[in-house]
Structure 1
Amino acid sequence: MPAKAAALTVNDSHRIAPHPQTQRPKRRRLPVEWLPQQHGAWAMLFLPFIVGVVLRAQEGHFNVFALPLLLLWLVGYFAFYDLSMWLKARNKTRYVRPLQVYGGLSAVLAAVVLWLEPTLIQWGIVYAPLLGAGLWQAWKKDETALLGRVTTVIAACLICAVTFSDGLFQFVQGLPTDPAFQRAASATALLTLYFIGTIFYVKTMIRERGEKGFLAYSIGYHAAITLLSVWAALTQGLSWLVPAFLFCTTLRACALPMIGPMRKKTITPKQVGITEFFFVLMLLFLLVR
């Protein structure tokens, strides 16, 4: 009996012994120097480009340089990011190779774009000081300052006008008399005002959470551009959908930074990103309707 019991015990223990849990392999991500982890930048990178292309198509035109320009826009962003990080980093070695790759690809794509539409080089008059200001802030190791962020937003949103036009001079000449160019300029301005507002709003949700002074700046900015749009709707024929949309952004700037403390919960960056996604969709509809 003891032998039987011992055998039974051994067999039972063998049968019920839990299997060791297998851990799922972690998904490997590209290093940040190859793929920037600035998730909030993607909407600002693509939305103005898409709006410009769609507005151009609605006028019955499609620029042949649109696809290579999109590739240049994306690769150029990677190159600009790596150059900014290289300027401020103590260990610059990790950014050298990506900067060489993205810089080289940017040069090739720029040559293709200018071969297809040489007059696009005129936009360099505007982009050179904007990008220079951003790199200067990075060299000072102060690229998170307001000046650096605002110049980056202006440069990103200006691509709406670039994709709509055949060059800076053509765009400027068309503004006084051509409604199509005026619409593209208005879209570029609204995109710029909106994304500058997100600088303040996102800071109140993350970096400056709980700072009443910065929250006041954010609410004040959103209220000011909303009132400006109301004036434009009353006097310049601007669609009332624009003030309605900007009023919603003002409500967001007021309410969301307060909801977390009231509920004694922190609103996560992911939740901030989800709300931003819906606002970007509304803005896209507003601009291309």
Structure 2
Amino acid sequence: MKPILPREHGGWAMVSVPFLLGMFVGGPKWLHLPLFFGWMLFYLAAYPFRLALMRRKDRRNFVRWALIYWALGMVFLIPPLLWEPSLLWAGPVLAALFCINGWYAYRRNERSFVNDLCAILAFSVGGAAAHMVGAGSWDAMALWVAVPCILYFLGSVFFVKSVFRERKNERWLIASKGYHLLLLILTALLEPWFVLPYAFSAFRAFLWGGKTIRPMKVGIIEIVGSLLFLVLSIIAFSATRPPTI
């Protein structure tokens, strides 16, 4: 029985980068290991579940794999939840966002901007939860960890759409470049260190936006950009007070 795994490069980045950022900013602990495995397995479970909503063929197999991933994820989450029961507060938020994603999957409209935004919010909650485990409580910094991730991956949505589905849409390209330019200006005014994590994001939007690019190249650009964002965000958090963006 072959495992069902997501193929989107962006999805793997969005599920891991906010978590790793939250872990490093909050302070790594041994609980992050089972929490990360549980978080990844929940991400894996969501993929076949969405497929089950979209397709009748092989639906039973999709549901089977969703339940397998979900059950394994719950096993890994037992230690973090016993140690930090307040992690449960993230549950209702994630459930609501997951239901919205499920609705868009059922309607076969996963490319919707709102659906992308809800997915980004859900992944960023994972970053806030990772910070909470490291810091020991929900505090303002957990929000500040989530916000830069939301802003960065929202830029990724603009960029990816501008080279694929909306490549010939001039208004979308203008919106993508405008978003990245505005993001650089605001961060420069409010917290200059945070210009660094967004610099490559703006660079790719202006250099490659609206051009025909092979999916493999876009995947490489996204991986490199996500790694740069993670490393430079850690540096920015280490060098500044909580960002005010």
What TM-score do you get using the length of structure 1 for normalisation?
Answer: 0.73
Distance, in Å, in 2 between the alignment partners of 1:195 and 1:55 is 19
1:169-188 alignment to 2 at 5 Å?
170-171=137-138, 174-175=139-140, 181=141, 184-188=142-146
Pairing partner for 1:277 from 223, 227, 234: 223
Amino acid at match of 1:95: F
SS at 1:37 equivalent: coil
Please, which of 127, 136, 144 is the counterpart of residue 160 of structure 1? 127
Partners of 1:222 and 1:190 lie apart in 2 by 13
**Which whole-Å deviations, capped at 9, do the CAs of 1:247-271 have from their partners, x for residues lacking one?**
442232122135x4xxxxx421121
Per-residue CA deviation, residues 16-37 of structure 1 (Å, 9 max, x unaligned), is xxxxxxxxxxxxxx95x61111
In structure 2, the partner of 1:219 is 177
1:54 aligns with 2:21: no
SS at match of 1:210: coil
| Counterpart position of 1:286 | 232
The Cα shift of 1:149 comes to 0.8
Matching of residue 45 in structure 1 with residue 12 in structure 2: no
Correspondences of 1:131-150 after superposition (within 5 Å):
131-150=98-117
Does the aligned pair in 1 maintain the 2:29–2:134 contact within 8 Å?
no
Determine which structure has more spread, i.e. the larger CA radius of gyration: 1
Partner of 2:240: none
| Contact kept? 1:134, 1:151, Cα under 8 Å | yes
| Cα deviation digits, residues 92-121 of structure 1 (max 9, x gap) | 233132123112222333334322322211
* Cα 1:76–1:161 shift into 2, 3 Å: same
Q: Give the TM-score, by structure 2 length.
A: 0.85
Give the alignment of 1:71-82 within 5 angstroms: 71-82=37-48
Distance 1:167 1:88 in 2: 38
Give the secondary structure class of the aligned counterpart of 2:9.
coil
2:82 match:
115
Unaligned stretches of 5+ residues in structure 2? 236-245
- The root-mean-square deviation of aligned C-alpha atoms, in Å, is 2.4
One-letter amino acid of the structure 1 residue matched with residue 55 of structure 2: A
**Unpaired stretches in structure 1, ≥5 consecutive residues:** 1-29, 176-180, 233-237, 261-265
**Alignment partners' CA distance in 1, 2:75 and 2:220:** 36
CA contact (8 A) 2:23 2:134 kept: no
| Greater relative CO (CA pairs within 8 A, separation 6+) | 2
